[in-house]
Amino acid sequence: MTDTIHIELSHQSCGAGLEYARRQSAGPPKDAILCCEGMCLKGETARRAANFMGHRLLLEKTVRICHGGLLEKSGRMRDLIKRAPKVLILDGCGMACCYRLTKAAFPELKPEVVFTDKMSNYAGNPFGIDEVPEAEISANAQSIAAALQDKFYGCCS
């Protein structure tokens, strides 16, 4: 096994993602929000918090970036990152998967990185989303999003 992996950019693209990026590119630059896409509870909570920020709380100030968009040759999501005044990464845990992927795509980038597991309020150390009630996952994600909104934008919902 190697210590590094090489990933080629793809000619494949997501039509819905391309359209979203096209619409976002038409307006003024917005801060970019990327997040962990992990399958565990930590990743799910980070993803929901990022979506809540980007699609609800800070819709006019931020744009959500998809991991897959970092790997497309079309570059539309990549272009949104390049023009973003600030890049915020919500990683679900210290493995920092989103940060490492983003740094591989943009070595000079200096994003703000938040480890959302440190902000979660789950009893014990649950792993799967089946181990915690749906309402608790949503409440944790919304609480994280509101705290980050306050920290980075000086306002609360």
User: What is the pLDDT, as a whole number, of residue 50?
Assistant: 98
Going across the sheet that includes 31-35, the strands are 62-64, 31-35, 87-91, 112-115
Residue with the bigger pLDDT between 75 and 58: it is: 58
Domain map (residue ranges) of the chain? 33-120+127-153
Amino acid at 108: E
Q: What is the pLDDT of residues 86-142, one digit of tens each?
A: 999 999 999 999 999 999 999 999 999 999 999 999 999 999 999 999 999 999 999
What is the torsion angle, in degrees rounded to the nearest 10, for the CA atoms of residue 118, residue 149, residue 15 and residue 10?
-50
User: What is the pLDDT, as a whole number, of residue 91?
Assistant: 98
Which residue from 101, 95, 97, 93 is spatially nearest to 119, judged by alpha carbons? 93
Per DSSP, the chain holds a count of helices (H) and strands (E) of 6, 4
Reported confidence tier of residue 156, pLDDT bands at 50, 70, 90: low
The pair phi, psi for residue 89, each rounded to 5°, is -115, 125
Compute the distance between CA of residue 153 and CA of residue 62 in angstroms, rounded to an integer.
Answer: 11
Residue with the bigger pLDDT between 6 and 139: it is: 139
Q: What is the mean pLDDT of residues 139-146?
A: 98
Q: Where are the alpha helices (DSSP H) in the chain?
A: 15-26, 41-52, 67-70, 76-83, 97-105, 134-153
Q: What is the pLDDT of residues 21-74, one digit of tens each?
A: 999 999 999 999 999 988 999 999 999 999 999 999 999 999 999 988 888 887
pLDDT for 155 beyond 80: no
The token duo for 109 is 């980038």
